[in-house]
Structure 1
Amino acid sequence: MDAPSRRPAPPGHVLPRRAVLLGLAGALAGACTSRAGTVAGPGTPGSPSASPSSAPSSPSAAGLPATTPWQPGPGENHPEVKLRAVELIETIGAWPPGEQGTDAARKRVAALGLDPSLVEQAGPLLGPGAAAALQIVNAQWGGYQPDSASVMVVCRQWTTAAAGGTTVDVRLVRAQPRWNVTALHPAEPVPPAARISDAAQRVLAEPRIRLPFAAIADVRGGAVHDSVLEAMLALAAKYTFAVTVLRSGHPVNVFETSRTSDHTRGRAVDVWQIDDHAVVDPATPHALVDGFMRDAAALGAYNIGGPRQLGGGTAPRQYFTDDAHHDHVHLGFPT
């Protein structure tokens, strides 16, 4: 997410099964359990070294992978907002045999106390298949204000017909007794390019850079500037890190402003995990996250957000922090 405003996007990418095995090999290898024992993606707080098989779960219907609900880990701020966003994505994107389709999804959403018409905005989450399983990888702020929020929900999905994943920008407003979801914006990555840069090819091949589906599609489509990709490669020489978003799946504008996001320009990356430590986890060494941020500055990042305010910097407000950057490191590069 970009630097905040002063006030206190886009159907997803679905791949055939063979492509899924290639594109998610690194992410699947790093999956672990959360403090509630759920598989919530690579390096979830609570058990950084655990493997997918260590998570207690039940076999899924129709031969699909077993999945478990996402739960916020230690250090999350406003976890009830993220949970509201996540439960909607889990409800739309997974269904038992025979409950596929829009009508069944609308009934499931209505049971949450949310507007059933949100289903019409779900895009790739309602893919083909008689049954589906969905696993949340990460839920990160796209923006937060006292009465409104954006939560970017990264997920993997398996149906009886296909496998893939997407990132959904979930918009919410404060309401009683729980926050209300007002809109869904699934990622809209550009089509694969005929040719991509050497840096893009190297990023896709680098196992120390863990990319979700939408980010892989962004790189394959040539939608990410080489300044970002080269910096990611340089950071990967020192760190292993997991990306939430590059371009697609992020709000088009900086949250609740008219300013175009650096993500939309293909000039930013959000990182939620460094060396198997979640940025949001209070147990993660400050020196690790702060060092990552300063190394990014040395590589040309001009706009660096994170969980703490760092001193120094070569430009005004080069470093910043707020509620929405409590759970990740944002790196923006000059245009």
Structure 2
Amino acid sequence: MPSESGPTGVPRRTLLSGAAGLVAGASACSSPKRKSGSGGSGSPSPGGTALPRATRWRPSTSDVQPDVKLRAAQLVEALGTWRPGGAGAARARERTAALGLPAALAEQAGSLLAAADESVTQAIDAQYGGILADTASVLVVCRQWTRTAGGPVRPGGTTVDVRLSRARPRWTVTALHPAAPGPAAASLPGEARRVLGDHGIGLAPAAEADVRGGGVHTSVLTALLRLAGDYRMEVTVLRSGHPLDVFGTDRPSDHPPGRAVDVWRIDGKAVVDPATPRTLIESFMRDAAAAGSYNVGGPLPLTGGATANQFFSDDTHHDHVHIGFDK
């Protein structure tokens, strides 16, 4: 199967540079939440009537091109957040234009424009789906809470593949591809049910929906359960919301067929944070390989894999660990 490593010539990273630790804004809005319906810091209880107060997402200073991620997250937050009177496509176009972006992008917002009187959207993480010299894919993982006519708060969320291109004075957004996980399956294998019930595996909303839909390969589910025996993990992406091809190539990604998982936080520590021990990330990457992954990517260029390309590192994977399977 094709490797998830990027195009030939993309520089490999050995250490993350920049200030130690995530900036305060990113830390505040990235608190772990196990399942899309669960609570957490700043989250309302299901069925309550008070919408949460969202914290604007901020990138780490250790990010590759942090403004690219910020641009993507700002658009997703703006599209998915409105006060009474702000619902509908026309107002979404106004919010998009206020960011200096093409108003027509609002027409690609998908489920972010829920039918509700009020909405609050909180970015959990912004992960690269790909970063090249002049183009990028940023996977903005978010939770969303909506309310209609003073009724109960309804929790939800999605992942949006935000495509950008280099422009002056800032990168611009060219397209939005919201996740479309599909309906829940009538029945699930035991591995899927165990993943959904394992408190050591935190699933973003679209990732949880992927598991409930039954389309995640058993090899991925089994590896997650094995890793959960030693680590607490926060998953950004499984199937939906990821580019169909390895970014910048015509090679199919392992994500859409349900044969890959991306992890952005291990034992409560963000992969992108330079304060996260490199030994923790290396241990996790090697244990992922031992769990059967043929293709483990992350911020560390490890050696000693069972095959020449079992481990890889590039700018795209400086902020998460990719774990892929060939069957």
Give TM-score scaled by structure 2 length. Answer: 0.87
Q: Which amino acid aligns with 1:214?
A: A
Give 1:132's match in structure 2, choosing from 103, 119, 126: 119
- What is the root-mean-square deviation of aligned Cα atoms in Å? 1.9
Give 2:176's match in structure 1, choosing from 178, 184, 192: 184
Aligned to 1:116: 103
CA contact (8 A) 2:25 2:55 kept: no
Aligned to 1:229: 221
Q: Which runs of 5+ in 2 are unaligned?
A: 11-21, 34-39, 44-48, 149-153
Deviation of residue 41 (structure 1)? 1.8
Aligned to 2:25: 36
Aligned pairs for 1:129-168 (under 5 A) are: 129-161=116-148, 162-168=154-160
The question of 1:2 aligning with 2:1 is answered no
CA contact (8 A) 2:25 2:56 kept: no
1:116-158, Cα deviation, whole Å (9 max, x unpaired):
1111100000001111111111100000101000000000111
Which whole-Å CA distance do the structure 2 matches of 1:197 and 1:72 have between them? 37
CA contact (8 A) 1:95 1:131 kept: yes
CA contact (8 A) 1:121 1:184 kept: yes
**Taking structure 1 as reference, are residues 284 and 37 closer, same or farther at Cα in structure 2, changes over 3 Å only?**
closer
Q: Which amino acid aligns with 2:25?
A: A
Which whole-Å CA distance do the structure 1 matches of 2:179 and 2:286 have between them? 30
CA contact (8 A) 1:35 1:73 kept: no
Deviation of residue 2 (structure 1)? 2.5
SS of structure 2 residue aligned to 1:106: helix
Deviation of residue 37 (structure 1)? 7.1
Deviation of residue 74 (structure 1)? 4.5
Q: Which amino acid aligns with 1:35?
A: A
Aligned pairs for 1:1-335 (under 5 A) are: 2-6=4-8, 8=10, 34-36=23-25, 39-42=28-31, 52=41, 63-161=50-148, 162-335=154-327
Which whole-Å CA distance do the structure 2 matches of 1:165 and 1:298 have between them? 32
SS of structure 1 residue aligned to 2:316: helix
SS of structure 2 residue aligned to 1:117: helix
Q: Which runs of 5+ in 1 are unaligned?
A: 9-32, 45-50, 56-61
Which whole-Å CA distance do the structure 2 matches of 1:185 and 1:172 have between them? 12
Runs of 4+ in 1 over 2 A off after TM superposition: 36-39
Which whole-Å CA distance do the structure 1 matches of 2:195 and 2:248 have between them? 31
CA contact (8 A) 2:138 2:162 kept: yes
Which whole-Å CA distance do the structure 1 matches of 2:137 and 2:185 have between them? 29
Which whole-Å CA distance do the structure 1 matches of 2:116 and 2:134 have between them? 37
CA contact (8 A) 2:29 2:54 kept: no
Which whole-Å CA distance do the structure 2 matches of 1:286 and 1:251 have between them? 28
Give TM-score scaled by structure 1 length. Answer: 0.85
CA contact (8 A) 2:216 2:238 kept: yes
